[in-house]
Chain A
């Protein structure tokens, strides 16, 4: 039987210099996929690469040969020997491989546990893989299963329900203040990296306009261009408070940039529409007094960090429940995998019986041409039910065989007993999935 193998590296096993190598290779070509397809010892394959991980998932009839081939190929991409790469790699086989894939899809293996992007990345990688026809019956089923497991984990646990990064926490708060962010304006004061990240999240959550204020105009212009926004002169910063809703401040300024009085004065012109200040600068940019003004909310970096810590702790608690779901689903997948070996035998058994039945019916009907259509139908029904009743127990036996340790023996006996292997080809007309499998095998 084919083995499922997963070979990969992630942020825990490999430093960024190695991870980025694979990421670059993956981004500018489809080389790994086509290379994998050319490896003869592999039947099916799937390749995933993100900034934090690289995973090769494949099935192979010969375990050692398959693993060596994949490691060799990866070493080639990395431009090193297999031995140099091996310390960074993990290799999972069968159940462990299945579990690992599920954990990755559910974002339990991510740097930030519960982050939602990874599932989308797997789906993209899977789409590319199917375009290259790399996965077959087993991997198709396995990947689809991983999507549904991820969905189940997401709905049944609270692993992804709370923000665990500062910028997400800020967006979540903004939504609790403003409701929908559609049509809102955000003002970036200073141009720190974290501010940029927060602005990105705000935009993807509906914020419409970004205005940038920075002491150096070039940087302001560059940022504004990036977000398709506008700039405002540093001196008119306070005036901008009339028009904006969310302020993200991250300057390196040693003194306060906006005082409570400046903000208070503008609230009337705003007709008291809420203002949300996110002050991620150290030392702080915004006067803490601002938080006392009605309809004004101020969060500094520590406040946001506090929310993130609480949410992280909750996610870790929830991940135990997710692991439980994953183990159960991996077991289910294993059961399915085992029936797969039995299925071709059951299919050929049914086909043989049907062939015999049709041949005999044909013989009989050519002799009895006076029968009415109803009577012909009755004979069909009769013979079909005889065949079905007769096959019922052997098929049930075969299905149960799938979980027996000596299933190969039983399968062999069954095929010999019903003489399934000599005069007719095995399966082919089975379900689509099966024909795919035998295509690859042949």
Chain B
């Protein structure tokens, strides 16, 4: 059962994100505020289009749009773009978009590449705790995606300064201090969110399956992810882990998230795997 308007909306969204991404890539070569504004506008338009699509979908299936893997990818792309737009408003680091927008496009493409079949509504997906679980986990992970991009930007800039060979990006990228604090801000927003996400997940599991822990691969990976960010946050506050090490940790952390999210769903079996095919 293919839903025509929803399908159309998702295509338009992907196109808008892609055009925005191309704009952001051009912005690297030609530092022109107008180009940035155009790219930003396309991303914003894509986000609005995407939000409409998701709202319609939720209205139709009457539950969080995470029942299939394509939906999940699409929701994740939406969360990434949404958090980026919010960060851009607050911090105005224009080149940030060049690193973030491709991620959104990749997830949109993944979402449309995988065949989807909407499964019959399950009572399992209707719960306050589950809604809270999904919302916080997705936004938290999206913010960690931003931290991942900030980490890559930091490493690129740091390498140029350390090795004293300056490329095109040296001028475009902000100062190391700015990139490092971007990383830190992401951590302070993202960590509480995934903490709430984990707790609400356990509460939900306890309510549904009468046991909070099942040795599900996704559960294990999620806890590992949480530990990585917990260590990063702790070391940062306690001994001042910053700069390169914090950037690398943010990159590792997000890689584990990706593994949890994509790998565990596709390859491993457990009650978190998203049905598809």
Stretch at the interface among A51-59, A258-266, A270-278: A270-278
| Residue among A175, A291, A294 having the largest count of chain B Cβ atoms under 10 Å | A294
Q: Which of B167-194 contact A (CB under 8 A)?
A: 170, 174-178
Residues of chain A within 8 A of B176, CB atoms compared: 176-179, 274
Residues of chain A within 8 A of B157, CB atoms compared: 176
Q: Are A175 and B175 in contact, CB atoms less than 8 angstroms apart? A: yes
Stretch at the interface among A14-22, A295-303, A333-341, A384-392: A295-303
Q: What 6 pairs between A and B have smallest CB-CB spacing? A: A271-B240, A179-B175, A179-B177, A272-B240, A295-B243, A179-B178
User: B161: which of A176, A180, A271, A310 is its contact (CB, 8 Å)?
Assistant: A176
Tell me whether A178 and B177 are in contact in the complex, defined as CB-CB below 8 angstroms, given that A297-B161, A297-B162, A306-B164 are known contacts.
yes
Q: Given the complex of chains A and B, what is the CA–CA distance between A306 and B245 in angstroms? A: 29
Q: Are B174 and A179 in contact, CB atoms less than 8 angstroms apart? A: yes
Q: Which of A105-125 contact B (CB under 8 A)?
A: none
B272 within 8 A of partner (CB): no
Q: Which residue in chain B gives the minimum CB-CB distance to A294? A: B244
Tell me whether A272 and B242 are in contact in the complex, defined as CB-CB below 8 angstroms, given that A176-B170, A297-B162, A306-B164 are known contacts.
yes
Residues of chain A within 8 A of B174, CB atoms compared: 179
Least CB distance, B130 to chain A, in whole angstroms:
40
Q: Are B164 and A272 in contact, CB atoms less than 8 angstroms apart? A: no
1/0 per residue, CB under 8 A from A, across B235-253: the answer is: 0000111111100000000
| 21 contacting pairs across A/B (C-beta < 8 A) | A173-B161, A175-B175, A176-B157, A176-B175, A177-B161, A177-B176, A178-B175, A178-B176, A178-B177, A179-B175, A179-B177, A180-B177, A270-B240, A271-B240, A271-B242, A272-B239, A272-B241, A272-B243, A291-B162, A294-B245, A299-B164
Q: Are A295 and B242 in contact, CB atoms less than 8 angstroms apart? A: yes
Q: Are B240 and A177 in contact, CB atoms less than 8 angstroms apart? A: no
Q: Are A303 and B164 in contact, CB atoms less than 8 angstroms apart? A: yes
Least CB distance, A312 to chain B, in whole angstroms:
14
Residues of chain B within 8 A of A268, CB atoms compared: 239-240
Q: Which of A149-184 contact B (CB under 8 A)?
A: 173, 175-180
Q: Which residue in chain A gives the minimum CB-CB distance to B174? A: A179
Q: Which residue in chain B gives the minimum CB-CB distance to A176? A: B175
Q: Which residue in chain B gives the minimum CB-CB distance to A272? A: B240
A307 within 8 A of partner (CB): yes
Least CB distance, A272 to chain B, in whole angstroms:
4
Q: Given the complex of chains A and B, what is the CA–CA distance between A291 and B239 in angstroms? A: 21
B166 within 8 A of partner (CB): yes
Residues of chain B within 8 A of A272, CB atoms compared: 239-243, 245
Binding site for A on B (CB under 8 A): 157, 161-162, 164, 166, 170, 174-178, 239-245
Q: Are B243 and A274 in contact, CB atoms less than 8 angstroms apart? A: yes
Q: Given the complex of chains A and B, what is the CA–CA distance between A90 and B117 in angstroms? A: 84
Q: Given the complex of chains A and B, what is the CA–CA distance between A310 and B170 in angstroms? A: 14
Residues of chain A within 8 A of B164, CB atoms compared: 299, 303, 306-307
Q: Which of A224-279 contact B (CB under 8 A)?
A: 268, 270-274
Q: Are A295 and B166 in contact, CB atoms less than 8 angstroms apart? A: no
Residues of chain A within 8 A of B177, CB atoms compared: 177-180, 274
Q: Are A294 and B243 in contact, CB atoms less than 8 angstroms apart? A: yes
Q: Are B175 and A177 in contact, CB atoms less than 8 angstroms apart? A: yes
Q: Given the complex of chains A and B, what is the CA–CA distance between A303 and B175 in angstroms? A: 19
Q: Which residue in chain B gives the minimum CB-CB distance to A300? A: B164
Q: Are B175 and A273 in contact, CB atoms less than 8 angstroms apart? A: no
Q: Give how many A residues have a beta carbon under 8 Å from the other chain's beta carbons.
A: 22
Least CB distance, B91 to chain A, in whole angstroms:
12
1/0 per residue, CB under 8 A from B, across A280-319: the answer is: 0000000000010011010100010011001000000000
Residues of chain B within 8 A of A271, CB atoms compared: 239-240, 242
Least CB distance, B109 to chain A, in whole angstroms:
35
Residues of chain A within 8 A of B239, CB atoms compared: 268, 271-272
Q: Are B166 and A307 in contact, CB atoms less than 8 angstroms apart? A: yes
Residues of chain B within 8 A of A273, CB atoms compared: 240, 242
Residues of chain B within 8 A of A177, CB atoms compared: 161, 175-177
Q: Given the complex of chains A and B, what is the CA–CA distance between A414 and B31 in angstroms? A: 54
Least CB distance, A318 to chain B, in whole angstroms:
14
Q: Given the complex of chains A and B, what is the CA–CA distance between A178 and B178 in angstroms? A: 8
- With A175-B175, A274-B243, A294-B243 known, 8 other A-B pairs at CB within 8 A are A173-B161, A176-B161, A178-B176, A179-B175, A268-B239, A268-B240, A272-B245, A303-B164
Q: Given the complex of chains A and B, what is the CA–CA distance between A270 and B245 in angstroms? A: 15
Q: Given the complex of chains A and B, what is the CA–CA distance between A180 and B243 in angstroms? A: 16
Q: Which residue in chain A gives the minimum CB-CB distance to B242? A: A272
Q: Which residue in chain A gives the minimum CB-CB distance to B245? A: A294
Q: Which residue in chain A gives the minimum CB-CB distance to B157? A: A176
Least CB distance, A340 to chain B, in whole angstroms:
38
Least CB distance, A304 to chain B, in whole angstroms:
9
Q: Given the complex of chains A and B, what is the CA–CA distance between A164 and B11 in angstroms? A: 50
Residues of chain B within 8 A of A306, CB atoms compared: 164
Q: Given the complex of chains A and B, what is the CA–CA distance between A299 and B160 in angstroms? A: 12
Q: Which residue in chain A gives the minimum CB-CB distance to B177? A: A179
Q: Given the complex of chains A and B, what is the CA–CA distance between A180 and B177 in angstroms? A: 9
Q: Given the complex of chains A and B, what is the CA–CA distance between A400 and B175 in angstroms? A: 55
Least CB distance, B123 to chain A, in whole angstroms:
51
Q: Which residue in chain A gives the minimum CB-CB distance to B160? A: A176
Least CB distance, B71 to chain A, in whole angstroms:
40
Residues of chain A within 8 A of B242, CB atoms compared: 271-273, 295
Q: Given the complex of chains A and B, what is the CA–CA distance between A177 and B170 in angstroms? A: 11
Q: Given the complex of chains A and B, what is the CA–CA distance between A299 and B162 in angstroms? A: 9
Residues of chain B within 8 A of A291, CB atoms compared: 162
Residues of chain B within 8 A of A274, CB atoms compared: 176-177, 243
Least CB distance, A315 to chain B, in whole angstroms:
15
Q: Given the complex of chains A and B, what is the CA–CA distance between A303 and B164 in angstroms? A: 7
Q: Which residue in chain B gives the minimum CB-CB distance to A177? A: B176
Least CB distance, B50 to chain A, in whole angstroms:
33
Least CB distance, A207 to chain B, in whole angstroms:
14
Q: Which residue in chain A gives the minimum CB-CB distance to B246? A: A272
Q: Given the complex of chains A and B, what is the CA–CA distance between A310 and B175 in angstroms? A: 21
| Residue among B164, B174, B175, B178 having the largest count of chain A Cβ atoms under 10 Å | B164
Q: Given the complex of chains A and B, what is the CA–CA distance between A390 and B107 in angstroms? A: 72
